[in-house]
Amino acid sequence: MKKVLIAAALVAGFSMSASAESESAFPSSWKTFTSVNTPLMKAGGALPGCDADVSSLPKVYQETVATYCAVKDGGPGAVEILVSPSALATYKARDGKFKDGDALVLHLKELKVLFVTSYQGGTPQYGVYDESGKDLSSAEGSGLHPNDCRTCHTGYEAFGINGQMGSFQ
């Protein structure tokens, strides 16, 4: 069911964005961001495929793979994590003390979709865009709504801090 909701949301997002609800601004300079690596992406810049056995990975990683497999059959394919130049030192420090305007992006390269975490008042804000900046956020429960992002980003405190996942505490 989740796969159907996400696929429908992506199609609807590409055709109209009247119901879009991204909290974060589209980072228009995202192509200048620094590409970084994460423990989940050790296998050559891609999340594990949907047929991969991820049962030995922590629950947060299992759910990440399940979420992105719902976006595209077989998995999202090539991805990259991009960090705005202003956030790079904080990203590397893994302390969650981001400044206003700092941004982190999960780029689903084959789908041409950007999952954006930006900061305002030290608080993470979430949004989903296509590469040109069209807002693709949609109904809660679709996997694309900011509250869906927030649920995962705050639900695994041992693996994330203040919106930055992979920040082992």
What local confidence, expressed as pLDDT, does residue 71 receive? 67
| Dihedral angle computed from the Cα positions of residues 2, 148, 39 and 78, in that order, rounded to the nearest 10 degrees | 50
Say which residues have a Cβ less than 8 Å from residue 74's Cβ, sequence separation at least 6: 49, 50, 51
- Look at residue 143 in the predicted model and tell me its pLDDT: 63
- Predicted pLDDT at 83: 93
Structural contact between residues 112 and 80, judged by C-beta atoms closer than 8 angstroms:
no
Per-residue pLDDT of the chain (169 residues; tens, 9 = 90+): 444 334 334 443 433 334 568 888 999 999 999 998 776 556 556 667 788 888 887 777 777 777 777 767 777 777 888 999 999 998 888 888 899 998 989 888 888 889 898 999 988 898 888 999 998 887 555 566 666 666 766 666 666 666 676 654 4
pLDDT of residue 1: 42
CA-closest candidate to residue 121, choices 93, 77, 150, 162 = 162
Q: In this predicted structure, what is the pLDDT of residue 163?
A: 67
In angstroms, the CA 96 to CA 75 distance is: 28
Check residue 53 and give its pLDDT.
Answer: 86
Question: What is the pLDDT, as a whole number, of residue 82?
Answer: 93
pLDDT the model gives residue 50: 80
DSSP 20-61: ---SSPP-TTGGGSEEE--GGGTTTSBPPPTTS--TTS-HHH
pLDDT for res 99: 93
